[in-house]
Structure 1
Amino acid sequence: MCGRYTLLSDELDILKEFDVQRIDSYEPNYNIAPGQRVLAVIRNGNDKRAGYLKWGLVPSWANDEKIGYKMINARSETVHQKPSFKTLLKRKRCLIVADSFYEWKKTDKTKQPKRIQLADRKLFAFAGLWDKWEDGDRNLFTCTILTKEANGFMQDIHHRMPIILPKDKEDEWLSPNEMDPTSAHQFLQSIDVDELTAHDVSSYVNAAKNNDKTCIEPLAD
């Protein structure tokens, strides 16, 4: 799964990396948690646009927005089979911008948090889906991160991992054209994750309220 991540990069680097014109009210975040605002890139016609979505998908048909806390991740293996996701796969795909994520490795006595990054790329994007939920005059824009079985590197840490899109696959995922759910599923399953690195960090990161550089500092050997 993916339950915490970071976005610390400079705003200008993000604009350049994802070919977008502006980001309103950008703030770096050392400990992004479910329920918070997350920076995403979507297609606005033929143009790309960066903006904030709430992490935790609330589908347009939902009766209660609290469902979002149960839908921070979506399994890529079955997402094309679920009615709640099929429409989103067709035309509501997004990039969720990040530069590392956290995962907790189980040990005999506790869970050790680790910060995981790409070895050769600072900024990257998770494959995501988004939707708009309406309650009277109130509109809520939310998203979920797609996950898959862990690769060889991640298996030692956790059995699931977020789908990190290779740079040359981002525009295909964001294509303004509709994508058949089966084709979207095949696309997601074909993704090979770039080389990853990881280091232990303090349990300080366990509390979502903690949001400073202590979250990412490597533990001494």
Structure 2
Amino acid sequence: MCGRARCTLRPEDVPRACHRHGFPAHFLHLECYRPSYNVAPGSYMPVLRRDNDGVSVHCMKWGLVPGFTRKTEKPDFFKMFNARSESVSEKASFRRLLPKNRCLVAVDGFYEWKKEGSKKQPYYIHFKDERPLVFAALYDSWQNSGGETLYTFTILTTASSSALDCLHDRMPVILGDKDSVDTWLDDPSTSKLQPLLAPYEKSDLVWYPVTSAIGKLSFDGPECIQQIPLKASQNSLISKFFSAKQPKTEERDKGTRSTDATIPAGPKEEPILEGYEGVVVSDSNDETKELDEEKDKLNEAQNLCFQKVVKAEPFIGDSSAIASHPESVKNEVEEGTYGEGESVETGGLEFTGKSSGKSGTKRAYELFSAQEKPWKQSMRLQDVDKSCGKHRRKQGKGKSNIKKSRETQSTLHFFFDEK
């Protein structure tokens, strides 16, 4: 499809571009023409057509509006700005125009969009020697409800050439020589037109990528035809940049291997920093061992000073101390409210015993305390014996009672697991 073009030609240059410079030419409605680098359907362009006395350069709107269109209907110039040459003799909109309404459109070049993934990249297509391109076209006139006559045209398209097929599957019908121009413009027989509608296969047609801003109708100027680099070429430059770094990496590896070769072999090979042959990197396992030893020393010092409570383990002996406990649990144990084989758990502390059916019965307790040094445990047991002996003297008895006073019980304590 041909939907954008560059037309900066002067009106007097159009007959020469169409090989009609020796014939008299009439110029009509040139006040509507505005040269542009970005011409779209709906814009005015100079069109060369046959006239009674010769040819006329008539300024028409691009985008065919058939003459049978209703006068009250709003024209849509984008609906038929192109016509497929394969079916132009079959459709009513174009078939009636072939005998007498053939014309030529001269442009500097045209634009085509190539699909690249999800995006489309525009290309500017023109002749290598910068001569104008001449397209085969059809024109018609339409009168609106106000009585104004509007001349419009459509450009014929055909299958793309073998070279241009990489951009798009369609291209405009290009009349590249004087014979083809004369046949299209003057020959009354439509049977000779079919050979002219073939793709243009000559090698003088060239193209290059341009900015995607060409898609905006308001974008105009020489920037429209300025060539731009493609992203693929940018990626290739990046790949070349990294590939250029590879030889340096190989040379550095060679230098490292040569340095390693100068070091005498030993029982154990240590990694050597590049450029510092005398510096040996220490093994990570040795550092781990040193850290473990420091942790062990720290834990041992904390245990000796009793600054950190370790995990509680059961401690049972003949001289086990009776520890104090929460008041509510203590009363329940002393009153014998729990049956045989039952246990009371409170904050990591477990009491077990056998009930004799009497209040204030004796119970055997299992005491869970923290691990301590032997000398510390012996001092604790001596304190318990002194406390028990003190109560014996007060009671006047030679044996200790299981049921202790609150004062005695408050002097004992449990070590709970803070972890």
CA distance in 2 between partners of 1:53 and 1:209 (Å): 20
The structure-2 alpha-carbon separation of the partners of 1:190 and 1:15, relative to structure 1 and needing over 3 Å to count, comes to closer
Aligned with residue 143 of structure 1, among 132, 141, 153: 153
Q: How does 1:168-187 map to 2 (within 5 A)?
A: 168=178, 169-175=180-186, 177-180=187-190, 182-184=191-193, 186-187=194-195
The 3-state SS of whatever aligns with 2:78 is helix
The 3-state SS of whatever aligns with 1:174 is helix
The structure-2 alpha-carbon separation of the partners of 1:75 and 1:207, relative to structure 1 and needing over 3 Å to count, comes to same
Which 10-residue stretch deviates more, 80-89 or 191-200? 191-200
CA distance in 2 between partners of 1:189 and 1:127 (Å): 8
> Which runs of no fewer than 5 residues in structure 1 stay unpaired?
none
Per the TM alignment, residue 62 of structure 1 is displaced from its structure 2 partner at its CA by: 1.3
* Contact 1:118/1:194 (<8 A) preserved: no
Aligned with residue 217 of structure 2, among 208, 213, 218: 208
Aligned equivalent of 1:91: 100
CA distance in 1 between partners of 2:46 and 2:201 (Å): 21
> What is the one-letter code of the residue matched to 1:171?
D
Per the TM alignment, residue 211 of structure 1 is displaced from its structure 2 partner at its CA by: 1.2
> What is the one-letter code of the residue matched to 1:88?
L
Q: Percent identity?
A: 34
Aligned equivalent of 2:407: none
2:90 is the alignment partner of 1:81: yes
> Which runs of no fewer than 5 residues in structure 2 stay unpaired?
231-419
Aligned equivalent of 2:39: 32
> What is the one-letter code of the residue matched to 2:111?
Y
**Structure with the larger helix share:** 2
CA distance in 2 between partners of 1:142 and 1:123 (Å): 21
Aligned equivalent of 1:70: 79
CA distance in 2 between partners of 1:65 and 1:89 (Å): 25
Aligned equivalent of 2:354: none
The 3-state SS of whatever aligns with 2:182 is helix
Per the TM alignment, residue 191 of structure 1 is displaced from its structure 2 partner at its CA by: 5.7
Aligned with residue 136 of structure 2, among 113, 127, 130: 127
The structure-2 alpha-carbon separation of the partners of 1:31 and 1:65, relative to structure 1 and needing over 3 Å to count, comes to same
Per the TM alignment, residue 9 of structure 1 is displaced from its structure 2 partner at its CA by: 3.5
Which 10-residue stretch deviates more, 39-48 or 53-62? 39-48
Q: What's the RMSD between the two structures over aligned residues?
A: 2.1
> What is the one-letter code of the residue matched to 2:104?
L
Flag the structure with more relative contact order, 1 or 2, with Cα contacts below 8 A and sequence separation at least 6.
1
- Structure whose alpha-carbon radius of gyration is higher: 2
* Contact 2:45/2:62 (<8 A) preserved: yes
* Contact 1:124/1:167 (<8 A) preserved: no
CA distance in 1 between partners of 2:87 and 2:37 (Å): 31
The 3-state SS of whatever aligns with 1:90 is coil
2:170 is the alignment partner of 1:194: no
**Structure with the larger strand share:** 1
Per the TM alignment, residue 193 of structure 1 is displaced from its structure 2 partner at its CA by: 4.3
Per the TM alignment, residue 28 of structure 1 is displaced from its structure 2 partner at its CA by: 2.2
Per the TM alignment, residue 51 of structure 1 is displaced from its structure 2 partner at its CA by: 1.9
CA distance in 1 between partners of 2:144 and 2:206 (Å): 43
Q: What is the TM-score of this pair, normalised by structure 2?
A: 0.49
Aligned equivalent of 1:118: 127
Per the TM alignment, residue 108 of structure 1 is displaced from its structure 2 partner at its CA by: 1.6
The 3-state SS of whatever aligns with 1:173 is helix
Q: What is the TM-score of this pair, normalised by structure 1?
A: 0.89
